[in-house]
């Protein structure tokens, strides 16, 4: 269960198919009318929530298909997904929207933000290192100096950059993603 916008301390939260359509309650999608804003939606029945769980995220119920027992959702990415009508979803928008609008301003805030997550900060570029530390290091200017693509058969230590790339560069003239007629 995630905190939704509008929840308060001491609020009663009801789960199940007989729960009312109130902010924070958890209902199967077949009990939810079309156009409802939901969050923390399950991918499979009983997996406790997979979609629209980030701060400020929500999914919209587009349509129900009673014969197939499926429901169509619009996800935060803009893509559409069809899931079983028996999966549960929480009503409302995930709390903490607009979190990314405020700039971090200093390295200490970034340090503490990522210290509680995982070791992915600071991100050091390979070209900024010495040649003993990285295949892209060294040289009188910060340039890679060799193709950034590398074979999948390369030994570890050499395998940096675009590993086993079929193509590089910007995607130009590719098919539209997730656009359909409804």
pLDDT score recorded for residue 145: 95
Long-range CB contacts (< 8 A, 24+ apart) of 50-57?
A: 51/75, 51/76, 51/81, 52/76, 52/94, 53/2, 53/94, 54/94, 55/94, 55/95, 55/96, 55/97, 55/99, 56/93, 56/94, 56/95, 56/96, 56/97, 56/98, 56/99, 57/93, 57/94
**pLDDT computed for residue 95 by the predictor:** 97
Predicted local distance difference test score (pLDDT) of residue 85: 96
Q: What integer pLDDT is reported at residue 174 of this predicted model?
A: 72
Q: How do residues 113-141 score in pLDDT, each as one tens digit?
A: 999 999 999 999 999 999 999 999 999 99
pLDDT of residue 173: 85
Q: Residue ranges of the chain with pLDDT lower than 70?
A: 175-182
Please report the pLDDT score of residue 94 as a whole number: 98
């Amino acid at each position: 269960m995630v905190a939704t916008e509008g929840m308060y301390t001491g609020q009663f939260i009801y789960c199940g198919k007989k729960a009312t359509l109130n902010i924070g309650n958890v209902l199967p999608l077949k009990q939810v009318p079309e156009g409802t804003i939901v969050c923390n939606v399950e991918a499979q029945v009983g997996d406790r929530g997979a979609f629209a769980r980030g701060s400020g995220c929500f999914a919209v119920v587009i349509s129900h298909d009673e014969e197939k027992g499926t429901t169509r959702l619009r996800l935060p990415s803009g893509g559409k997904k069809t899931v079983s009508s028996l999966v549960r979803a929480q009503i409302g928008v995930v709390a903490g929207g607009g979190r990314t609008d405020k700039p971090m301003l200093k390295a200490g805030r970034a340090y503490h933000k990522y210290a509680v997550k995982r070791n992915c900060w600071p991100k050091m570029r390979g070209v900024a290192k010495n040649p003993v530390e990285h295949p892209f290091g060294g040289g009188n200017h910060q340039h890679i100096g060799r193709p950034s693509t590398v074979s999948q058969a390369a030994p570890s230590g050499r395998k940096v950059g675009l590993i086993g790339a079929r193509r590089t560069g910007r995607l130009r003239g590719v098919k539209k993603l997730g656009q359909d007629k409804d």
